[in-house]
Amino acid sequence: MRAIIQYIQSYLGSDQTPGAAGNMFWALVYIMVVFAGLSVAVIAMNWLERKILAHMQVRLGPMRVGPHGLLQPIADAIKLLLKEDIMPSEADGFVFWMAPFIVVLAAFTVFVVVPFGPTHAITDMNIGILFMLGVSSLSVLGIVMAGWASNSHYPLIGALRSSAQMVSYEVAMGLAVVSAILMTSLNAEGTGTLSMIGIVQAQQAQGEWFIFKFFPLGLIAFFIFAVAMVAETNRAPFDLAEAESELTAGFHTEYSGFRWSLFFLAEYSAMIAVSSIAVTLWLGGWLRPFPNFLSGATWDRAFSLFPGVVFLLFAAMCFYNAVRMPKHPLFRIQTIGLAGFGVVLGLIGLVLFVPAVSLRVQDIFWFSAKIAGFMYLYIWYRGTFPRYRFDQLMQMGWKVLLPLGLGVLILTATVALLQQRIWHP
Amino acid sequence: MTDPNSSLSNLDLETPEKPFLDANELVINMGPQHPATHGVLRVILRLDGEKVLGLECVIGYLHRGVEKIGEHRTYTMFNPYVDRMDYVAAVSNGLGYCETVEKLLNVEAPPRAQHVRVILTELNRIASHQLWLGTHALDIGAITPLFYTFRDREEILKIYEKYCGARLTTHAFRIGGLQYETYTGFEQEVKNFLQFFRPKIDEYEELLTTNRIWVERTKNVGIISGKDCIALGVTGPVLRASGVKWDLRKAQPYANYKNFDFDIPIGENGDTYDRYLVRMAEMRQSVRIIQQAVEALPEGPIMAKVPKVMKPAAGEVYHSIEAPKGELGYFIVSDGSTQPYRVRVRPPSFVNLQALDVMCRGQLVADVIAVIGTLDIVLGEVDR
Amino acid sequence: MVAKLKGNYGSGIEALTYAGQNYMLVNRSLIPEILQVLRNEEQFDFCVDITAVHYPQRENQFDVLWILYSFARNERIRVKTQIRDGESVPSSVPIWTGANWLEREVYDMFGIKFDGHPDMKRILLPDGWKGHPLRKDYGILQQDNEWVQINLGIESGQ
């Protein structure tokens, strides 16, 4: 017993991730926390997407289940779980059954290396970024399987579109990633890193996020990645694989109930995964904004108040809306619920003001906040843009992004070389 | 084609291109339950990969036998039935029918009725184009304009609701004039709507006209030349977008359109983008017409002298109007009894839909959706 | 115009007017030529509509009508011919491509066949339907019960 407790305690105070420190217990805890957090994030994302999109489109969105529709995603999840699971009679049963699992597996596995903080990751691999790109592109396999196994035309075309799209955008994506990795080697030893944590630490060491590095080269590489990642996740305006007005629902046309919700889950967690790559590579990962010219202990202290303030603002929003609720007995439960939600958020905010807490979680806060920015962008795109056509999509991937990526890579390499050899020999 | 002068001699409809590398053709059934076929249209696509080799439309899922019903109802009783054909432009249907019967009876609606007819019909044109714009943009993937157009269409429907009690199948006109006198504040409400609506068109255009993806998706898609349009009998905005400046409101003015000053917007290339621009411009012209009509709304009776029991002399009349979709014609044969001997409706959507095959050949699947949207068909009118 | 046509084709043409609208009654045998001439020489390049009317009491049961429009002259004309039940009419698809569906609809509703039409089949009603609904002897409540029972699996559609 004591040995176990000692084993558990031995990790505390370590400056490594549990995976890298080789501590099974904490690794398992982290896995559970990450996956639970991810599921909650997907649920929240579902609600937020519907709400934000609705407000962009002069309507209210879900309003009935819970105050302001807050419980809507839960109701949806229950509905999906209770739905009949239909498999087309002519479908290839095993492949049809496998496909959603492969997609979900690929989407979730990448979170093993996502660095929420210097020690807040399940593990730290020295090939972290390659692992992420590699595993996340496995999901195309599941999509092709889904499309083929459904034995129907729309899913087949959707799967073909999707696989072609993902494969071709991965090329541009890879080039952009390489140019960011190149920047990590700009140190005294001249050694770069592929580790996700190492990449952020390199940005910390250089005092500059890679998006601003070698202006505008870093920015262009980031832009290429930002476009490619939307295509990679099959979201608007590149949602051809599931273009509902053309292919009804694309590769998951024949799926229903729980299997369909797995695809849904995978799509949203893939969105979070690619956003976390972008955040890690270009936006300084868990680092707070302005690490270089607003540095010093005072600013550190000021920025550490941020998480608490944000949560208090959310709480205030809840209270404001609770006050605005119609004064009618029918709305009493909703009003109380909303106020209760505000209280919970407010308490979290207050806890975050405790220095010991805020010091430990502000990394996670900044990382999540940056991802949330990307999520908002995803929703915004969806509300604004029409859908690209397949040939136009391919044209953009191969004729615009790929040469641009190559050019940026070459220029970055040249500038980096010049900087190391000539300006700072 | 035997005739060398035939305008379609360059248009080979019978032999499709060979598929690349002799690959198998993929036959896809689109509809009748499909989100983008605007109702119950069924399109059978023959594809080479994503390229369309040819298509066949299967229609008739909404066939209700309107023409047969017409033979079994009196002239007045049949009037509400025509609202159910093009249900997004019910007022235009009613106008065409009433004017045709008036021609048979040899009566003319009084000026006040004519003015109100023009106002309501043009409002209807705007409503119809708004619905088209929203759904067309939705098909192409822009989901937001739909809600903007529906928000503004609501204002028009409110005016209808106040005027005749109905919002969709508005039975607003009677043979010989109007059933109802306009309600108090009608003119002011129409004026307010115009004031409200003018900036809204700019809002729609801001979302789409210069949007790169929108332009790429619609430019050079579904091109049809003016000659082909005429040969296929295509009318309305589709014809005008192909560069033919022809609008029945100008060419053969009905109601009292000759009193109003407006332009006929035309396009150049006859592609989806031009059709979009033409319809946007038409909304602006409609606003212009309504403005003139509502400012010069005369006083006076709203019904001409028509007999209670209508028995037109034996004869036949064809009359057509410029409905939002194109030329909407009625051919009515009277045998001197209270019921029409034969009512024939010339539905613009039905004839325009024929052009789908020509416009989609060689394009991609995604373009078929765009072209169906841009033809602006209403299946209730195609199938009647 | 009509005078010229009359001169060329003799008594097969009769020009009439009702309510200010011109139409001409043409012999069935002259139809293809007249339509061709109207299209090519008189610039009636727009075939607005093709339809038919059923008069069961007459010997020539059907009126078949072409409603034509000329963009150049801004003028409409109706060409009308009378045919017996079972008689066919030459198709005008080679003259106006747009006549395709209109002729199919006339066939669907009246059972009048058009010779030389590329795809003479029903358009609005299902392919196996029996009867042509716009004929006067087809009742307004009538339907092809057999078809409904086989294809829809219900006793009656009414």
Flag whether residue B58 sits within 8 Å of chain A, measured between CB atoms: no
Residue A41 within a domain: no
Q: Are strands B315-323 and C89-90 parallel, antiparallel or unpaired?
A: unpaired
Helix, strand, coil share (%) of chain B residues, nearest 5: 50, 15, 40
Check CB contact under 8 Å for B233 and C54: no
Q: What is the mean pLDDT of chain B?
A: 84
Dump pLDDT digits (tens) for B110-166.
888 888 889 989 999 999 999 999 888 888 888 888 888 998 898 899 898 888 888
Residue A78 within a domain: no
Task: Name the residue in chain B with its Cα closest to that of C78.
Answer: B318
- How is residue A32 written in tokens? 């559970």
Helix, strand, coil share (%) of chain C residues, nearest 5: 30, 25, 45
Task: Name the residue in chain B with its Cα closest to that of C20.
Answer: B317
- Please indicate, yes or no, whether residues A245 and A334 belong to a single structural domain of this protein: no
Is the pLDDT at A332 greater than 80? The verdict is yes
Is the pLDDT at C1 greater than 70? The verdict is no
Check CB contact under 8 Å for B233 and C71: no
Interface of B with C in 86-125 (CB under 8 A): 103-104, 106
Task: Name the residue in chain B with its Cα closest to that of C56.
Answer: B341
3-class secondary structure, A85: coil
Q: What is the mean pLDDT of residues C10-28?
A: 75
Residues of C in contact with B106 (CB under 8 A): 19
- Could you give the CA distance from residue C28 to residue B128 in angstroms, rounded to a whole number? 42
Q: What local confidence, expressed as pLDDT, does residue B88 receive? A: 86
Interface of A with B in 55-94 (CB under 8 A): 56-59
Its ipTM equals 0.86
- Please indicate, yes or no, whether residues A194 and A90 belong to a single structural domain of this protein: yes
- Could you give the CA distance from residue A208 to residue A221 in angstroms, rounded to a whole number? 15
Q: What local confidence, expressed as pLDDT, does residue A244 receive? A: 64
Is the pLDDT at A3 greater than 60? The verdict is yes
Task: List helix spans (H) across A283-354.
Answer: 297-304, 306-324, 332-352
**Distance between C97 CA and the closest CA of chain B, angstroms:** 5
3-class secondary structure, A285: coil
Dump pLDDT digits (tens) for A167-207.
888 888 888 888 888 888 877 777 788 888 888 888 888 87
Which carries the bigger pLDDT value, residue C40 or residue B319? B319
Angle among Cα A54, A55, A56 to the nearest 5 degrees reads 90
Q: Name the DSSP class of A399.
A: I
- Please indicate, yes or no, whether residues A236 and A335 belong to a single structural domain of this protein: no
Check CB contact under 8 Å for A387 and B214: no
Check CB contact under 8 Å for A389 and B28: no
Residues of C in contact with B68 (CB under 8 A): 133-134, 138, 140
| Residue B24: closest CA among A244, A156, C156, C130 | A156
Is the pLDDT at A340 greater than 60? The verdict is yes
**Distance between A367 CA and the closest CA of chain B, angstroms:** 30
Residue with tokens 């109003």: B260
Check CB contact under 8 Å for B233 and C123: no
3-class secondary structure, C111: coil
Is the pLDDT at B30 greater than 50? The verdict is yes
Question: Are A18 and A112 a contacting pair, CB within 8 Å?
Answer: no
Count CA atoms within 13 Å of residue A412 on its CB side. 30
Residue A355 within a domain: no
**Cα→Cα distances B314→B105, B317, C19, Å:** 10, 10, 11
Q: What local confidence, expressed as pLDDT, does residue C2 receive? A: 64
Q: What is the mean pLDDT of residues C113-118?
A: 84
Q: What are C's interface residues with B at a Cβ cutoff of 8 A? A: 18-19, 21, 23, 36, 40, 45-49, 51, 53-54, 65, 67, 71, 74, 76, 78, 94-102, 105, 109, 118, 122-126, 133-134, 138, 140
B242: left (phi over 0), alpha (psi -120 to 50) or beta: alpha
Question: Are A233 and A375 a contacting pair, CB within 8 Å?
Answer: no
Check CB contact under 8 Å for B63 and C124: yes
**Distance between B22 CA and the closest CA of chain C, angstroms:** 26
Dump pLDDT digits (tens) for C22-77.
788 887 777 878 888 788 777 888 888 888 888 888 888 888 888 888 888 888 88
Q: What is the mean pLDDT of residues B105-111?
A: 86
Q: What local confidence, expressed as pLDDT, does residue B2 receive? A: 36
Task: Name the residue in chain B with its Cα closest to that of A59.
Answer: B147
Check CB contact under 8 Å for B366 and A243: yes
Question: Crossing angle of helices A306-324/A332-352, nearest 10°?
Answer: 170
Beta bridge partners of B46: B27, B54
Is the pLDDT at B23 greater than 60? The verdict is no
**Cα→Cα distances A142→A252, A273, B368, B381, Å:** 11, 17, 28, 44
Question: Are A197 and A124 a contacting pair, CB within 8 Å?
Answer: yes
Does B have 3 or more CB contacts under 8 Å with A? yes
Most A CBs within 10 Å: which of B26, B34, B213, as the mutation test of the A interface?
B213
3-class secondary structure, A190: coil
**Cα→Cα distances A173→A272, C22, C122, Å:** 16, 70, 54
Flag whether residue B157 sits within 8 Å of chain A, measured between CB atoms: no
Flag whether residue A386 sits within 8 Å of chain B, measured between CB atoms: yes
Check CB contact under 8 Å for C97 and B8: yes
**Distance between B383 CA and the closest CA of chain C, angstroms:** 6
Check CB contact under 8 Å for A392 and B216: yes
Residues of B in contact with C95 (CB under 8 A): 3, 6
Contacts of A127 (CB under 8 A, 6+ apart): A194, A195
**Distance between A382 CA and the closest CA of chain B, angstroms:** 8
Number of H helices, E strands in chain B: 15, 8
Among A215-224, A316-325, B329-338, C26-35, the minimum mean pLDDT is found in C26-35
Phi, psi of B29 (to 5 degrees): -100, 115
Q: Are strands C89-90 and C114-115 parallel, antiparallel or unpaired?
A: parallel
Q: Which domain holds residue A176?
A: 83-107+125-287+388-423
Q: Which residues of A259-276 are buried (b: 16+ CB within 10 A; e: fewer)?
A: bbbbbbbbbbbbbbbbbb
Task: List helix spans (H) across A22-114.
Answer: 24-56, 72-82, 93-109
Residues of B in contact with A161 (CB under 8 A): 50
* pTM of the model as a whole: 0.84
**Confidence band (pLDDT; 50, 70, 90) for B8?**
very low
Question: Are C105 and B382 a contacting pair, CB within 8 Å?
Answer: no
Q: What is the mean pLDDT of residues A13-32?
A: 78
Question: Are B372 and B37 a contacting pair, CB within 8 Å?
Answer: yes
3-class secondary structure, B282: helix
- Could you give the CA distance from residue C7 to residue A71 in angstroms, rounded to a whole number? 83
- Please indicate, yes or no, whether residues A165 and A199 belong to a single structural domain of this protein: yes
Is the pLDDT at A59 greater than 60? The verdict is yes
Residues of B in contact with A151 (CB under 8 A): none
**Distance between C112 CA and the closest CA of chain B, angstroms:** 16
- How is residue B279 written in tokens? 């319809």
3-class secondary structure, A27: helix
- Please indicate, yes or no, whether residues A191 and A268 belong to a single structural domain of this protein: yes
Is the pLDDT at A278 greater than 70? The verdict is yes
Which carries the bigger pLDDT value, residue A52 or residue A117? A52
Residues of A in contact with B365 (CB under 8 A): 157, 246-247
Among A47-51, A102-106, A412-416, A421-425, the minimum mean pLDDT is found in A421-425
**CB-defined contacts A:B, below 8 A:** 81
Residue A42 within a domain: no
- How is residue A54 written in tokens? 């609705």
- Please indicate, yes or no, whether residues A159 and A258 belong to a single structural domain of this protein: yes
Check CB contact under 8 Å for C48 and B329: yes
3-class secondary structure, C60: coil
- Please indicate, yes or no, whether residues A336 and A278 belong to a single structural domain of this protein: no
Contacts of A326 (CB under 8 A, 6+ apart): none
Q: Which of A350, A373, A401 is the last residue of a domain?
A: A350
Question: Are B310 and B74 a contacting pair, CB within 8 Å?
Answer: yes
Of B65, B231, B346, nearest to C48 by CB-CB distance is B346
Residue with tokens 């004026």: B191
Check CB contact under 8 Å for B366 and A390: yes
Flag whether residue B214 sits within 8 Å of chain A, measured between CB atoms: yes
Residue A10 within a domain: no
Q: What is the mean pLDDT of chain A?
A: 84
Beta bridge partners of C14: C25
Task: Name the residue in chain B with its Cα closest to that of C110.
Answer: B68
Task: Give the helix/strand (H/E) hosting C47.
Answer: strand C46-54
Q: What local confidence, expressed as pLDDT, does residue A248 receive? A: 67
Task: List helix spans (H) across chain C.
Answer: 2-9, 31-40, 99-110, 145-152
Strand order in the sheet with B51-58: B26-30, B42-48, B51-58
Does C have 3 or more CB contacts under 8 Å with A? no
**Confidence band (pLDDT; 50, 70, 90) for B18?**
low
Interface of A with B in 125-184 (CB under 8 A): 153-154, 157, 161
Of B65, B67, B318, nearest to C67 by CB-CB distance is B318
- Please indicate, yes or no, whether residues A103 and A214 belong to a single structural domain of this protein: yes
- Could you give the CA distance from residue B154 to residue A287 in angstroms, rounded to a whole number? 49
Residue A410 within a domain: yes
Question: Crossing angle of helices A2-11/A24-56, nearest 10°?
Answer: 50
Q: Which of A300, A327, A350 is the last residue of a domain?
A: A350
Question: Crossing angle of helices B186-208/B111-140, nearest 10°?
Answer: 30
Q: What local confidence, expressed as pLDDT, does residue A386 receive? A: 85
Which carries the bigger pLDDT value, residue C104 or residue A19? C104
**Distance between A386 CA and the closest CA of chain B, angstroms:** 4
Task: Name the residue in chain C with its Cα closest to that of B312.
Answer: C19
CA B195 centroid distance within chain: 25
Which carries the bigger pLDDT value, residue A156 or residue A240? A156
Cβ count within 10 A of residue A235: 21
Contacts of B108 (CB under 8 A, 6+ apart): B102, B304
- Please indicate, yes or no, whether residues A222 and A317 belong to a single structural domain of this protein: no
- Could you give the CA distance from residue A370 to residue A376 in angstroms, rounded to a whole number? 10
Flag whether residue B318 sits within 8 Å of chain C, measured between CB atoms: yes
- Please indicate, yes or no, whether residues A274 and A318 belong to a single structural domain of this protein: no
Residues of A in contact with B369 (CB under 8 A): 245-246
Strands, E, within chain B: which ranges? 26-30, 42-48, 51-58, 173-174, 177-178, 315-323, 326-334, 340-346
- Please indicate, yes or no, whether residues A168 and A260 belong to a single structural domain of this protein: yes
3-class secondary structure, B364: strand
- How is residue B49 written in tokens? 């990969």
Q: Which of A350, A374, A401 is the last residue of a domain?
A: A350
Q: What local confidence, expressed as pLDDT, does residue B254 receive? A: 84
**Distance between A124 CA and the closest CA of chain B, angstroms:** 40
Contacts of A255 (CB under 8 A, 6+ apart): A100, A146, A150, A263
- Could you give the CA distance from residue A231 to residue A271 in angstroms, rounded to a whole number? 10
Residue A195 within a domain: yes
Query: Please, is B305 exposed, middle or buried when counting C-beta atoms within 10 Å of its C-beta (0-12, 13-18, 19+)?
Result: exposed
Is the pLDDT at B17 greater than 60? The verdict is no
Check CB contact under 8 Å for B315 and C109: no
Residue A224 within a domain: yes
Check CB contact under 8 Å for B103 and C124: no
- Please indicate, yes or no, whether residues A267 and A315 belong to a single structural domain of this protein: no
Cβ count within 10 A of residue B69: 16
**Count of domains in chain A?**
2
| Residue B139: closest CA among A407, A349, A279, A389 | A389
Check CB contact under 8 Å for B331 and C65: yes
Cβ count within 10 A of residue B10: 10
Dump pLDDT digits (tens) for B238-268.
888 888 888 888 888 888 888 888 888 888 8
Question: Are A42 and A371 a contacting pair, CB within 8 Å?
Answer: no
- Could you give the CA distance from residue C13 to residue C78 in angstroms, rounded to a whole number? 12
